[in-house]
A and B are shown apart, each in its own frame.
Chain A
Amino acid sequence: MKAMRARRVHQRYMLYALLAFLPARLIAAAQPANQGAPEYQIKAAFLLNFTKFVEWPPSAFSSPSAPLEICILGDDPFGPALDQMVEGEAVNDHKLVVRRIHGKPSGGCQVLFAESSESELDEVLGSLGPGVLTVGDGETSLSRGVVISFVLEHRRVRFDISQRAAAKEELKLSSKLLSVARSVPN
C-alpha cells in the first residue's frame, strides 16, 4: 500500500518534471545556437549536473533520506539562479538544497563551492572530512586541492578534475563526467 502510494507520488513528480522540462527544452531548441548565458548561471547548471554523476560514500549522509547540500562558501556569485535550479530536485532520494556558509561547515555539505578569491578556502579545505565534492573556480584552484575546478575556455565554461582529490574524498566519479572534463591531470 505504502509502496503504491510512493510510486504514485513519484509518477506525479515525473509528470511535473516532464512538464517543466518540455517547454524549456523546446524553447532552448528554438533559439539560435550562439545564444549565450551568464557565466554563473551556466556554472550553477553544472553544479546541479555534477550531483548526478558522482557517487558519495554512505558516510557522507546522516540518513538515506538526508538532503544533499550544495554549500557556497563565502560570497555567493550565483544570485537566485542556483536556488531556482535546485528547487524540487532530488538525487537518489536525497533532496537537493542550497546552503550558504561562512567558515568550516558543520556536517552536510556534500558539494562545496568556493570562489578562488575566498580567503577561507584553504583553511576550510584542510578541515573537511571525506565525502565532500569540492568545486573551485579558476585554473589555480585544482592545485589547492579541490576535486573539480571551473575554467573558462573560448568563452565557454569547462571544468578540470583531480582524481587524486576525488579519491581522497572517497568519491566515485562516473566515466561520463571524466569524458566531458577538459582535462583530468594525474
Chain B
Amino acid sequence: MYTTVRCGAYRAAVLTMLLACIGHEKGLTAAPDAVDPATSPAALKTLTLEELSQIEVTTPSRQPEQAFRSPVAIYVITGDEIRRSGVRTIPDALRLAPGVEVAQIDANKWSVGIRGFGSRLSRSVLVMIDGRTVYTELFAGTYWEVQNVMLEDVDRIEVIRGPGGTIWGPNAVNGVINIITKNSQDTQGWLASAGGGNVEQGFLNVRYGGNAGDNLTYRLYGMAFTRGPEYHQDHDNFDDWRAVQGGFRMDWRPGARDTLTVQGDIYTEAAGERVSATSYAPPYSENVDGNADLGGGNVLARWQRKFSKGDDIQVQAYYDRTSRFEPNLAEIRNTYDVDFQNHLVEPGRQDITWGLGTRVSNGEDLPVVSGLRFLPPRRNDYLVTAFFQDQFELVKDHVWLTVGTKLLRTNFTGVEPQPSVRLLWQPTSKQSLWTGFTHAVRTPSDADREFALLGYIETLPSGIPYLARFNPNANFAPEQVNGYEAGYRRFFARNLYLDLAAFYNHYHDLFSEDITGPTYLETTPLPEHYLLPAQFRNDLLGYTKGVEISPAWRPVHFWRLQGSYSFLHMNLTKAPGTPEIGTVLGIEGSSPRHQATVSSGLNLGKSFKLDLTYRFVSGLAAMNVPAYSTGDANFSWQVSRDLSFSVVGSNLLQPRHGEFAGDPGPTVEIRRNGYLSVTWTK
C-alpha cells in the first residue's frame, strides 16, 4: 500500500515513458494547378510539326478534373513541387500537403500524423510506395527512416486526409499516403545529382534509364547519403545517419492492352538513436546511444490489362523483407502480398471497382534486452481483404454517389466491414461540393497484442526494484472511427483555386494504457521485484474536428503562390470506470492545433527558379515544444539543358528549434540547414 501511494504520481510518467522507449494504396492529382501555360492547348496549337515532334511527353498524374471531382479530401504533391522545395526526405516532402502534421524528432526520425494522432510510426495512416504497403504489423505504423525514394524519380505523392481512402488498404483510419514513382518510360537516360552541406553532409544519386525495343523500358538507380546530427543540449550527438540503396524498375507493354511492371529495391542503413533499454537486472533501465542497423529489400510485379470502355484488370504481388537491429530490439520480417483488382465502367452510369487481397507477414523477434519481448517471438500475421465500390452518376455531369465497403479479416480480428458513402455535386464546371461518411478500423498489431514491455519506477529502500510491465493483451480490439466530412472546391478563375475541407471524426475503442491490478511481488524472472501490471487496452474515446483550407494562385505564368491553413481540435476521454492511466493529455498535446504555410514558386527567366516557404506550427503542450515559425528557400540555376545547380536552405529563421520530443532525454532541436547540389542529366 505504501508503495502504491508513494508511487502513484510516477505511474503516469513511467507508463508513458515505457512507450517512448520503443519509440513509438490510387491515382488522383495535384492541387489543380492552374494549367502550365507553356503546355496548355492554346500554346501547343501554335507550334509547328517539327516543334511538336520535340516536346517531351509527360505522364500526368491524372487530369486535374479528377482531383477536383474526388469526393475525398485529397492533395497531390507533384514531383515537381517536391523537387522545387529542395526537401531530401519523404516526411519533409509531406509538409507540402495541408492537414498533415510533420514534426522532426531527430536527424532520422519524424512524427507524422493526419488530422491528429501524430506519432513516430503514424499508427493510423496507411503508407504505400508504388502499391506496396510499408505499414508494419510489428508496432502498427511506418518506420519513416527506411522509406527512402530517389526524389528525382517520384511522380507524385497522394495524400488522402480522413478515412476516405479506406478501400485502398487496412489502417487508413486517419489517412492514406501513396508515394508513386515515375514510369520507367519517363526516366530515360542518365541522371546524377550530388551535394552536401552542414546537416545534409553529402548525398549522391545516380540513375540510368534505357530501353530494349519499343515496348520495354527500364531504369536502375543507386543512392547514398550521410546526414549529421541535429542539435543536442547535452552534446550527445547520437543521431547521425548513413544509408545506401539501389533498385530497378521495368515496364513492358507487350501489346496495346497489357502492361507489366517489375520493380525492386534493396537498402542498408545505420541510423543513430537513443533508446531506453529495460531489464529485470540492474541497472533496470538505461538510455543507450547506438546505431539501428536497418536493412531490407523488396520485389514487386504488377500486370494490368486495359479493355475498351475503360475496364481494366490488375494483379499485383510482392515480397518485402525488413530487418532491424536496435540497441533494445531486433526483428526480421518477411511479407508476402497478392492483390487482384477489377474496374468495370458503364459509361455515364456506373463505375465499379472491386478487389481481393491477402497478405502474410512473418516476424521473428530476437531477444536483445529482457524488458522488451514479443510472446511468442516468431509470429505469422495474415490478413484477407475484399472491397467493392460503385460510383453512380445520379444526375448526368452533376451528381455522383459512391458507395462501397471494405471487408477485412486478420489473425487478430473477425470480419470487419468498413462501409463508406460519398456524394459529389458539381453545380458548374468550376465548383464542386462533396460530403462523405466512412466507418474504418485500425487493426491490432503485434505490439498491441503480444508485447511485454517493462519499465523501471524506482528501487525501494529494501533494495528491491519496483517495476511496471505492459503485459500482452489477447483481447485488444480494433480501434474504430466514424468519420463525417465535407468539402468545397472552386476555380475562381483559370489561375485561382480554393480547396476547403471540414471533418468530424468520432473514435471509440482507441488505444489506451491501463493498470490492470495491484502491485505484487514477482519472483520469475529473477531477481525478485515488485511489479505493477498494466496492459494496452481500448479504453479511450472521443472526437476530433477541424478544417483545412488550401488556396493556390498563379497571378502570372511564372509565379505561383500557394497557402494552407489547418485547424484541429481533439477531445478525447477515457471510458468511464476504466483504469486508464491518463494518456489523453499526452495524445491531445502531441498534435498542433494550428498549422499554416505560404509558399511562392517563381521562375526568373529561362534559367532561374526561386522557391520560398514560410510555415507556422502551434505549440505541443504535452511535449513542452513551443510554437515555431520558420522558412525554407531553394534557388536553382539551370545552366544548360543538362546541368543545374541549387542552393537550398531550410529552417532558416532561427539557428535551431524543437519540433517534437520523441527521444529519451532533452528534446532534440532541428538545426538551420543549408546545402548545395548539382544535377546532371543526359
A42 in contact with B57 (CB, 8 Å): yes
| Known A37-B57, A156-B56; contact A31-B41, beta-carbon cutoff 8 A | no
B49 CB contacts on chain A under 8 angstroms: 46, 49, 53, 176-177, 180
- Which B residues touch A27, using CB under 8 A? 37-38, 43, 557
Q: A28-B46, A41-B44, A45-B45 are in contact. Are A35 and B57 (CB under 8 A)?
A: no
B309 CB within 8 Å of chain A: yes
Q: Does B516 make an interface contact (CB < 8 A)?
A: no
Q: How far is the CA of A115 from the CA of B310 in the complex (A)?
A: 12
Report the separation of the CA atoms of residues A123 and B263 in the bound assembly, to the nearest whole angstrom. 39
Q: Which residues of B contact A20 (CB under 8 A)?
A: 42
Q: Which of B53, B59, B256, B605 contacts A156 (CB 8 A)?
A: B53
Shortest C-beta distance, A65 to chain B (Å), equals 22
Is B214 at the interface (CB under 8 A from chain A)? yes
The reply to whether A37 and B39 contact each other, CB–CB distance below 8 Å, is yes
User: Which of chain B's residues has its CB closest to A140's CB?
Assistant: B256
For B310, list chain A residues within 8 Å (CB). Answer: 75
A11 located at the interface, meaning its Cβ lies under 8 Å from any Cβ of chain B in the complex: no
Q: Is the CB of A32 within 8 A of B308?
A: no
- A42-B52 in contact given A48-B45, A155-B57 (Cβ < 8 Å): yes
Residues of B with C-beta under 8 A to A75: 308-310
Contact with A along B380-393 (1 / 0, CB 8 A): 00000000000000
Chain A, interface residues (CB within 8 Å), range: 35 or more
- Contact present for B52 and A49 (CB under 8 Å): yes
Per the bound structure, the CA–CA distance linking A39 and B56 in Å amounts to 8
A116 to B253, CA, bound (A): 13
Q: Chain B: interface residue count, which band?
A: 35 or more
Q: Is there a chain B Cβ closer than 8 Å to A183's Cβ?
A: no
- Is B60 part of the contact surface with A, judged by Cβ < 8 Å? yes
Knowing A32-B607, A154-B188 touch, does A39 contact B57 (C-beta < 8 A)?
yes
* Residue A106 CB within 8 A of the other chain: no
Q: When the two chains form their complex, are residues B56 and A117 in contact, meaning their CB atoms are under 8 A apart?
A: no
Does residue B378 face the partner (Cβ distance < 8 Å to A)? Answer: no
Contacts of B58 in A (CB 8 A): 36-39
* Binary flags per residue of A16-44, CB closer than 8 Å to B gives 1, else 0: 00001100110110111111111101101
Q: Assuming A34-B641, A75-B310, A117-B256, is B606 touching A21 (CB within 8 A)?
A: no
Is A15 an interface residue when CB atoms closer than 8 A count as contact? no
> Can you name the residue of chain A whose Cβ is closest to the Cβ of B60?
A38
A162 to B670, CA, bound (A): 64
> CA–CA, A177 to B50, complex, Å?
10
Contacts A49-B49, A116-B256, A157-B53 given; does A42 touch B42 at CB 8 Å: no
Query: Is B638 interfacial (CB-CB < 8 Å)?
Result: yes
Considering the chains assembled together, what is the distance between the CA atoms of A115 and B257 in angstroms? 11
Chain B residues near A139 (CB-CB < 8 A):
214
| Other-chain contact of B638, A25, A32, A84 (Cβ < 8 Å) | A32
* Residues in chain A near residue B38, CB distance under 8 A: 27-28, 30-31, 35, 37
Q: Does any Cβ of B come within 8 Å of A85's Cβ?
A: yes
Q: Which residues of A contact B (CB under 8 A)?
A: 20-21, 24-25, 27-28, 30-39, 41-42, 44-46, 48-49, 53, 74-75, 79-82, 84-85, 89, 115-119, 137-140, 151-158, 176-177, 180
- Which residues of B are at the interface with A, using a C-beta cutoff of 8 A? 36-50, 52-60, 63, 65, 185-186, 188, 214, 256-257, 306-310, 557-558, 605-607, 638, 641
29 contacts between A and B (CB under 8 A): A27-B37, A27-B43, A28-B38, A28-B46, A31-B38, A32-B607, A32-B638, A33-B641, A36-B57, A36-B58, A37-B38, A38-B57, A38-B59, A42-B44, A81-B41, A85-B42, A117-B257, A117-B306, A117-B307, A118-B308, A137-B256, A152-B57, A152-B214, A155-B185, A155-B188, A156-B53, A156-B54, A156-B55, A156-B57
Please name 15 further chain A to chain B contacts, defined as beta carbons within 8 Å, in addition to the given A36-B56, A117-B256, sorted by A numbering: A25-B46, A27-B37, A27-B557, A28-B38, A30-B605, A35-B55, A37-B56, A38-B59, A41-B39, A42-B52, A49-B48, A82-B41, A119-B308, A152-B214, A180-B50
